[in-house]
């Protein structure tokens, strides 16, 4: 998959482009349905499947106080988009001047002139341009003027709930990672690098890997059954997210204990997938009580993970 950063770098002529527009935060089941449509239509036409997205998230520019904590880093989102079969991602640099474009200017100058788009597919609730003036009906109208078709992909619902990024954020913020998987189509995953910590886990008999991540949204504080992907291997374990209240508190940390694993992975990149929340964060009266609970956490985590497919 090719990634083109900045509209000014759109200099190539793509054969019969089929395109979708959006932020795609989370790359959830709804987004995946749109990508499937785009990829399928591009194959049918002998064309190019393109996702047009924005960086940073528009609300980070227009209303930072209302900007959500994002479900993916840009790198993580690109990996997920690539897995859907999309061939090209165009990532526009989102600025106030970009936001102030009239929707017709964007449709004419970017979609028509720069991309030469044949078909555009968007989600059922999509709007674009200044003050979100570019409704789906507006987009269909300008499509007729500039020679491209516009299709709308219906919402994907799970148990009567329309899948959305905000719904998934609510699940994760409450620790309901096993519910979020139903909307994502996979376990919620963060990525980061293993860094040196206080080595307290080692002294307690549970050596942990401390993960430094750029992901904005962590699940609610607590202990989770997890799968860590390191060097193309899947390793099972438990992870604690929180502020270590038993030891007086501190900054938020992510500590991962991997079952039956002794290798040095400092500096390694890890993708950490959350399978199930085992319990909330708790302040223990003493270290012995904490160690006793950690032993129980490990056993419960093993029971949760043992029946999962590789």
- Domain ranges for the chain: 2-158, 187-305
pLDDT band of 107, cuts 50, 70, 90: very high
Q: Tell me which CATH code domain 2-158 carries.
A: 3.40.50.620
State the Cα–Cα distance between residues 260 and 263, nearest whole angstrom.
Answer: 10
Same fold, 2-158 and 187-305: no
Q: What is the pTM of this model?
A: 0.93
Query: Given a cut of 70, is residue 33 above it in pLDDT?
Result: yes
CA distance 106 to 85: 26
- Any residues with CB less than 8 A from the CB of 268 and at least 6 apart, and which? 193, 194, 230, 231
Q: Can you tell me the mean pLDDT for 184-205?
A: 84
What is the pLDDT averaged over residues 8-29? 96
Model confidence at 203, in pLDDT bands (50, 70, 90)? low
- Per CATH, the number for 187-305 is 2.40.30.30
Average pLDDT for residues 284-299, to the nearest whole number? 91
- How is residue 106 annotated by DSSP? H
Closest alpha carbon to 274 in 164, 166, 202, 173: 173
In this predicted structure, what is the pLDDT of residue 196? 87
8 A C-beta contact, residue 52 and residue 14: no
Burial of 12 (0-12, 13-18, 19+ CB in 10 A): exposed
Is-cis flag, bond preceding 56, omega within 30? yes
| Contact yes or no for 26/184 (Cβ under 8 A) | yes
b/e code 209-229 from CB counts within 10 Å (16+ = b): bbbeeebbbbbbbbbbbbbbe
Judged against a pLDDT cut of 70, whether residue 159 lies above it is answered with: yes
The pLDDT of residue 310 is 60
| pLDDT of res. 133 | 82
Residue 197 has pLDDT above 80, yes or no: no
Is it the case that residue 204 has pLDDT exceeding 90? no
């Amino acid at each position: 998959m090719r990634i083109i950063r900045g509209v000014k770098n759109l200099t190539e002529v793509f054969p019969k482009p089929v395109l979708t527009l959006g932020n795609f935060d989370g790359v959830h089941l709804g987004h995946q349905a749109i990508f499937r449509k785009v990829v399928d239509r591009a194959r049918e036409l002998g064309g190019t499947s393109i996702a047009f997205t924005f960086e940073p998230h528009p609300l980070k520019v227009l209303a930072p106080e209302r900007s959500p904590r994002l479900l993916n880093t840009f790198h993580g989102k690109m990996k997920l988009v690539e897995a859907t079969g999309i061939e090209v991602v165009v990532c526009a640099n989102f600025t106030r001047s970009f936001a102030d474009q009239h929707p017709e200017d964007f449709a004419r100058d970017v979609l028509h002139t720069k991309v030469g788009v044949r078909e555009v597919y968007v989600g059922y609730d999509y709007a674009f341009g200044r003050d979100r003036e570019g409704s789906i009906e507006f987009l269909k109208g300008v499509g007729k003027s500039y020679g491209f078709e516009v299709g709308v992909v219906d919402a994907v619902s799970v148990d009567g709930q329309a899948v959305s990024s905000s719904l998934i954020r609510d699940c994760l913020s409450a620790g309901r990672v096993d519910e979020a998987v139903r909307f994502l189509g996979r376990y919620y995953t963060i990525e980061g690098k293993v860094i040196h910590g206080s080595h307290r886990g080692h002294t307690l008999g549970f050596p942990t890997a401390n993960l430094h991540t750029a992901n904005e949204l962590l699940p609610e504080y607590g202990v989770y059954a997890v799968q860590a992907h390191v060097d193309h291997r899947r390793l099972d374990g438990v992870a604690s997210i929180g502020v270590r209240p038993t030891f007086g508190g501190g900054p938020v940390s992510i500590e991962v204990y991997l079952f039956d694993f002794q290798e040095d992975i400092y500096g390694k990149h890890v993708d950490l997938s959350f399978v199930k929340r085992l319990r909330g964060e708790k302040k223990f009266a003493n270290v012995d009580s904490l160690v006793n609970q950690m032993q129980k956490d490990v056993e419960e985590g093993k029971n949760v993970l043992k029946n999962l497919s590789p």
